Each structure stands twice: as structure tokens, then as C-alpha cells.
Structure 1
Amino acid sequence: MAQAQTSNPDGYIHARDDEEYQRLRNQAGMWQGATEALLDRVGLGPGMTCLDVGSGPGAVMRLMGDRVGPSGKVTGLEIDGTLGAQALADLKAEGGAEFALVEANVMEAGTIPGAPFDLTYCRLFLMHMQEPVIALEKMLGWTKPGGVVAAQEFDFGGIAVEPLCPAMGEFNRLFEGVFRGHGRNLRAGRQLPAQFEGVGIGAPDGTLADVKFLPLSDMAAMLIGVYQGLFASAVELGIADRALAEAFKTDMAEAAADGRYYCLTPTLIGVWKRLA
């Protein structure tokens, strides 16, 4: 069966609007510490060059810039020109490093200005790729000998709310239905080592995993935002129900206000490999 197509020309299954852009910024803040830990483990430092593939709102580019400093260069590769342009403007206004943006589809991109890089990295990007190994091959080609290829991806296998929360059942129904229906990967994080080996990078030099267990009151807005951002894709698949959607928002907000519920987040799994 052919994979369903999304209304976004680039195939992104979430909405592309201001609410989604803010959700991405909030998500980046939640996982900042995990990404900082990976960047430090791979030894990103002053004067280095790096590429953030699928750079989105530029949060990881800022963390890279903090480490490479004024003598280093950070390039973002982003298909969404509106989001990328705003990120670049914000980064340049803050300063601290040399920042650049390439607006392109990674699957169609050839030579990237500034390549090869000391670090080629992506976060929450490969899980949206129907051919992640090809994307990794591109990243490998943009990395210099002695440089590092790194990725951080979600594994959704453990996401849950305790005690049992009926609203979470509707979230999982729509979320998993959209991801599977559009050929996206719910287990991208745990598959990274095999994908690195499959592309010829070899077994990772190291791995890091981070998961959070938070009051549902801290996560409800994020869960509602994800649900709403996927709704149009659910409509295309014929699995959306507006009555269920309204009930989900009400039920999730009530559960968040209840105070008894805690959310186990997806696991963010990072791997990296220094090239010979």
C-alpha cells in the first residue's frame, strides 16, 4: 500500500504554523540538558564547524554556537524557510558565533557550504524520514575525517500516564495512527545503532538516553499541542474525529488540574561516532 501523503509539500506530518513553531521551541527547552550533554561528550569546542540537520527553530544551533564561539561556525539545514529564516535572524542578533542557514530538503541536497564539518548532527529528524539511512549517508558525506556524526531521536515505546488516564488513550490512538499511517518511525531512537552500522559508519562510540517523569500539569499543553498539530494529517488518513478531539482537550485539561497524574515521556536516545 502506498504511504499517505501530507498536505505539507515537504511531508512534515505536524502543522506548520505559529503554534507548532512555539511547541518546537518548548520541546527544545525540555531536552536542552540532554543535548548539551551529548555535545560535550563528543568534544565540540572553540573554533569547530558544525551542521545541524533539520535545524528548526535554531535551539540546537544556539547550543552549538555557545561551544564553538566566535571563531567557530554553525550551519543549519532546514526545509522550512519561514522557520529557518526567523531562527537565523534570532541567532545573529544574539551573536557569539558565525551562523548560516541552508534552506533545502536533506534528501535532495548536494554539497553544503562549509562542508565537511567537524560535527554533523540531527535531533528528532530521522524519525520523520521514510528512508533514514539515506539521510544518514548524506550526513556522513558532510563530515570530515576525524569528525563526528551524531543523532538524538525519540523512542515512544514507554510513553504513558499514571494512574490510567482515559485522555491518553485518545492521544495514543491519533498519534500512533498518524505516525504509522504516514510511515513514520515510533522506535527511531532504539534503531540508531543499527542504522549507523547499516550506513557504514560503524557501531557508535557512545550512547546517551534521557527520559522524564513529570506531573501531567507540566506536560498537558505539550500533549494537546502535538494532538492538534497532527489533526490535519489524521483527517487525511480518515482517522480524525472532531467530537473526540474536543473531548480529548477537555479531558486532558481536567486530568492535568487533578494533580494525581504523572507523565512518562518518550526516551530521547543519542548516539555518536567519530570517523576514521
Structure 2
Amino acid sequence: MAEHDTEHGYLLDNRQSEAGIRFAALAELFDPVTFRHVDRLGIGAGMRCWEVGAGGASVPRGLAERVAPTGAVVATDIDVSWTRDVAGGVIEVLSHDVAADPPPPGGFDLVHARLVLVHVADRAEALRRMVQALRPGGWLLLEDADPALQPLLCPDESGPEQRLANRLRTGFRTLMAGRGADLAYGRTLPRVLREAGLEDVGADAYFPITSPACAVLEDATVRQIRHRLVGEGLATDEEVDRHLASVATGRLDLATAPLISAWGRRP
């Protein structure tokens, strides 16, 4: 998901050079989870899908493989600079604000948003528009992090490097919360879907305890926000450098916040 980096905008702006690295790491970590759910929901040839806040290209491409040749994938984001190149064939890329713009026309068999709503200020309106875009019987699949449910970058806090990593992660969460992110949103998704009138609601959660992709993600994320961490007194330059050096060793066993996947069907 991309928003302009304003005082209340998305902290991790898509236009920064680290964004592509982050998208690739998130795809490696979470695409298997996303497509396990997509396939279980029966998304296949001829269906129409709306990928909300597409960010990177991996999910639109994976959806396109499943619905081709007669289906359609509409991939939308406020900043489409990272998805523009995948337009063509069954994929249409549109610049779009899910909380402010009307849904793309046509009705969808699947509407999917991953790591989007936690950053959207008007989550309720965004959700209403996504539900409105579903065809009868269509599925809404929402996947969002819940950093408050598992707040540690290093769950095994075994030494000073791990303690520093967890303290910098606390600083990152402070910055996110200051820009309107709901750090306990993921756990609410099943209730949110039921209250929106959807049926057959279910959910699960996933997070790696350690993965090379977690280290790649952490390095890119910290480089993207270091000026804010230092500028707001949450860390010193020396601490950031020390943390990045520790991450580079590959021995910290870095985790992510749980990704909670929830799904529901429009009657």
C-alpha cells in the first residue's frame, strides 16, 4: 500500500528506493500464505479479482495466472509506480484510493487487500467499498498485521543485539501509531467481516520466527525510516548502524508481526 509521506501518511513511502526491496521480501514471506487462501476459496479461470493497494507485482501476477485467459485482475494503489509494468493481458492497473474513490466497475469474485487497511485512516469506509464491489457469492480476503499481538522483532531476546533490535522495533511502532496505523487491527478482522454482513467467515494467522527474508525486510525498513527514528529521538545514528550490522550477520532470528488472514463471502 502506498500513501504520500505526509504527517499522517504512510510511513513507508513506495517512492523510496527501498520500497522495491521491501515488496520482494514481503512477497517471499507472505505470498505462499495469500495464495493458499486464494486457492482454497476456489479462485480460478474466468473469475474477476480486485487487488487493493497492490504495491508490488507478485500478487496481481499470481491472480492473473489463476483467472486467465478469460478472467480479469484489477490492481489498484495510490502509487502504481511498482505495478505499472504488469499491466496487460488480464491485468489492469489503476491509480485509486480505496477509501475515497468508487470501486472499479463490474463486480468481483474476489477482493483482496494485504497489509493495506492497517495504514488507511478511514478503514470502515474502505471496507464498505470493498464489500460493495463483491458479486453475490464473492469472497473478501483481508490480510493485515497485528504488531501488538507479537511486538518483538527478536522473540528470543537472548543478548544485547536482540534487545537493541526490539527497542528499535518499538520506535518503529511508535512512528506508525503516530501516523494513524492501528497496531491491533489484524485481530479484529473476523468481527469486522461479520459486521459487514459477510458469511462463512474464517481466519488464521502466520508469522515466521526466523527467515532470511525477515533480515532483508528489516534492513530495508530501517534504512527507510532511520531519519525519523533519529530525528524523533527514538534512536541514535550509532545505534542504527550497530543494529544494521547485527542484522547483516544473519544470526538474530528476526520475526515479523503476525499476518492475520480473514475471509468472508457476500450472500
Does the Cα contact within 8 Å between 1:7 and 1:233 map onto a contact in 2? no
Which of 167, 174, 192 is 2:164 aligned to? 167
Whole-Å Cα distance in 2 between the matches of residues 258 and 147 of structure 1?
42
Whole-Å Cα distance in 2 between the matches of residues 14 and 211 of structure 1?
20
Please tell me whether residue 239 in structure 1 is matched to residue 225 in structure 2: no
- Alignment CA distance shift 1:147-1:48 (3 Å): same
Q: CA deviation at 1:227?
A: 2.2
Please tell me whether residue 179 in structure 1 is matched to residue 179 in structure 2: no
How far does the alpha carbon of each residue in 1:90-133 deviate from its partner, in whole angstroms, 9 at most, with x for none? 353xxxx51101211111111413x2111111000011012212
The two structures have a TM-score, normalised by structure 1, of: 0.84
Does the Cα contact within 8 Å between 2:77 and 2:97 map onto a contact in 1? yes
Aligned-residue Cα RMSD (Å) equals: 2.5
Whole-Å Cα distance in 2 between the matches of residues 9 and 181 of structure 1?
9
Please tell me whether residue 116 in structure 1 is matched to residue 115 in structure 2: no
Identical pairs, percent: 25
Which of 8, 11, 20 is 1:13 aligned to? 11
Match of 1:206 in 2: 202
Whole-Å Cα distance in 2 between the matches of residues 10 and 68 of structure 1?
37
Match of 2:118 in 1: 127
Where is the helix percentage greater, Structure 1 or Structure 2? Answer: 1
- Alignment CA distance shift 1:255-1:36 (3 Å): closer
Match of 2:259 in 1: 268
Q: CA deviation at 1:171?
A: 1.8
Whole-Å Cα distance in 1 between the matches of residues 238 and 96 of structure 2?
36
Does the Cα contact within 8 Å between 1:130 and 1:183 map onto a contact in 2? yes
| More moved, 155-164 vs 177-186 | 155-164
Please tell me whether residue 55 in structure 1 is matched to residue 66 in structure 2: no
Q: CA deviation at 1:240?
A: 4.3
Does the Cα contact within 8 Å between 1:121 and 1:151 map onto a contact in 2? yes
Match of 1:221 in 2: 216
Whole-Å Cα distance in 2 between the matches of residues 258 and 270 of structure 1?
28
Q: CA deviation at 1:226?
A: 1.5
Secondary structure of 1:264's match? coil
Q: Across the two proteins, how many residue pairs are aligned to each other?
A: 258
Does the Cα contact within 8 Å between 2:118 and 2:185 map onto a contact in 1? yes
Does the Cα contact within 8 Å between 1:224 and 1:249 map onto a contact in 2? no
How far does the alpha carbon of each residue in 1:183-209 deviate from its partner, in whole angstroms, 9 at most, with x for none? 20112221111221333335x522232
The one-letter code sitting in structure 2 at the alignment partner of 1:195 is V
Q: CA deviation at 1:74?
A: 0.4
Does the Cα contact within 8 Å between 2:187 and 2:260 map onto a contact in 1? yes
Match of 1:196 in 2: 193
- Alignment CA distance shift 1:221-1:258 (3 Å): closer
Q: CA deviation at 1:38?
A: 0.8
- Alignment CA distance shift 1:258-1:184 (3 Å): closer
The runs of at least 4 aligned residues of structure 1 exceeding 6 Å deviation read none
How far does the alpha carbon of each residue in 1:128-153 deviate from its partner, in whole angstroms, 9 at most, with x for none? 01221211101011111111111111
For structure 2, which runs of at least 5 residues remain unmatched after alignment? none
Secondary structure of 2:249's match? helix
Whole-Å Cα distance in 2 between the matches of residues 210 and 39 of structure 1?
15
Secondary structure of 2:81's match? helix
Q: CA deviation at 1:173?
A: 3.0
Does the Cα contact within 8 Å between 2:214 and 2:255 map onto a contact in 1? no
Please tell me whether residue 36 in structure 1 is matched to residue 31 in structure 2: no
The two structures have a TM-score, normalised by structure 2, of: 0.86
- Within 5 Å, give how 1:50-129 maps onto structure 2: 50-83=49-82, 87-90=83-86, 92=88, 97-113=89-105, 115-129=106-120
